[in-house]
């Protein structure tokens, strides 16, 4: 897939809005893991070297409205520390006051908008919010691969209103995925994890015909286990998706690797009473919260011979 890059934009002397992925974990009001922040710096540096002014936007967590606990302020501070350039936190996402505040930021300073999800129109791709974002800049760069699949105002909406390009991080991810879809080195193994099987069904349907093995853990594995007739107790279960999952298992079950043992507990808490049991021995009052040691060995054995691995999810 060929995407327009930064060289397709007129950058010198212009303001470029960058949709980055700065959705990082916070702890005690500080950034707990700055990997994504560091990954966003190359596109910012490239625009600055080309003579452009930079405005950065991103979501952070899943706030219910404007919540100071999800402010971009600590992220902005860390961005400046890692990037070695001056930064300015803007107290808002769009609107006349935000436009004025961005215009007042010195040309050598990177302006960072407040959490885009503070705006109710972000996740609904509200045209008014998209227009407000477009008014802040002369061009748009999407470099947030982890958010590119969401039709939000800060991803799809603003891109439709102004000259737009893919950032280097997004372009590299798309190139890697294209290789995995078109001509992967084999054996080709996919590792999936995450809470919601509904979020991964599209990936599973698309990739199962192409892969040699698909290793599935995380909360989503319990819906697959249930589809095989396993009583998963109080584990996370999407009952509405069991039928769809059953169809996939019937067609591609020989390629799917599921846990054989799990860590169960009476509740989801650090101090919960927990133990390792076989997947078919989960008591009704207990929930599976992680794969067990035997499953770790099985998963490692499935991945070890792979020449291509696509890993999706936090497992």
pLDDT band for position 153 (50/70/90)?
Answer: very high
Q: Which residue has the tokens 């947030």?
A: 144
pTM, rounded to two decimals: 0.74
Three-point CA angle 155, 161, 163, nearest 5°: 90
pLDDT band for position 293 (50/70/90)?
Answer: very high
Note the pLDDT of residue 248. 95
Percent of the chain with pLDDT over 90: 87
Q: Is the peptide bond before 187 cis (omega within 30 degrees of 0)?
A: yes
Question: Residue 55's closest CA among 25, 97, 99?
Answer: 99
Cα(180)–Cα(168) distance, integer angstroms: 18
pLDDT at residue 1 above 80? no
Cα(306)–Cα(303) distance, integer angstroms: 5
Q: 133 with 36: CB under 8 angstroms? A: no
- Alpha helix (H) residue ranges in 153-305: 158-159, 168-182, 197-207, 221-227, 242-252, 293-303
Which tens digit of pLDDT belongs to each residue from 64-106? 989 999 999 999 999 999 999 999 999 999 999 999 999 999 9
pLDDT at residue 2 above 80? no
Which tens digit of pLDDT belongs to each residue from 4-39? 899 999 999 999 999 999 999 999 889 999 999 999
pLDDT at residue 181 above 90? no
């Amino acid at each position: 897939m060929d995407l327009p890059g930064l060289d397709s934009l007129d950058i010198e002397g212009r303001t470029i809005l960058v949709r980055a992925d700065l959705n990082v974990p916070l702890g005690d009001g500080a950034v707990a893991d700055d990997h994504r922040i560091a990954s966003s710096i190359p596109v910012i540096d490239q625009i600055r070297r080309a003579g452009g002014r930079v405005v950065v936007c991103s979501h952070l967590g899943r706030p219910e409205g404007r919540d100071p606990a999800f402010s971009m302020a600590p992220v902005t501070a860390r961005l400046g520390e890692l990037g070695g350039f001056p930064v300015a936190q803007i107290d808002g996402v769009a609107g006349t006051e935000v436009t004025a505040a961005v215009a007042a930021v010195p040309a050598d300073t990177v302006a960072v908008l407040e959490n885009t999800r503070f705006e109710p129109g972000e996740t609904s791709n509200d045209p008014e919010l998209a227009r407000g974002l477009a008014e802040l800049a002369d061009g748009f760069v999407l470099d947030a691969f982890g958010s590119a699949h969401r039709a939000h105002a800060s991803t799809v909406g603003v891109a439709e209103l102004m000259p737009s390009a893919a950032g280097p991080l997004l372009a590299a991810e798309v190139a890697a995925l294209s290789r995995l879809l078109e001509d992967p080195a084999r054996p080709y193994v996919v590792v999936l994890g995450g809470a919601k099987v509904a979020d991964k069904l599209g990936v599973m349907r698309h990739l199962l015909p192409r892969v040699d093995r698909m290793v599935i853990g995380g909360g989503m594995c319990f819906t697959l286990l249930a589809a095989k007739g396993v009583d998963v107790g109080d584990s996370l279960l999407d009952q509405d998706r069991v039928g769809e999952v059953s169809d996939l298992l019937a067609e591609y079950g020989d390629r799917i690797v599921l846990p054989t043992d799990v860590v169960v507990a009476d509740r989801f808490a650090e101090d919960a009473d927990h133990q390792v049991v076989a997947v078919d021995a989960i008591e009704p009052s207990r929930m599976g919260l992680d794969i067990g040691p035997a499953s770790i060995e099985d998963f490692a054995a499935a991945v070890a011979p792979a020449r291509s691995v696509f890993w999706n999810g936090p497992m």
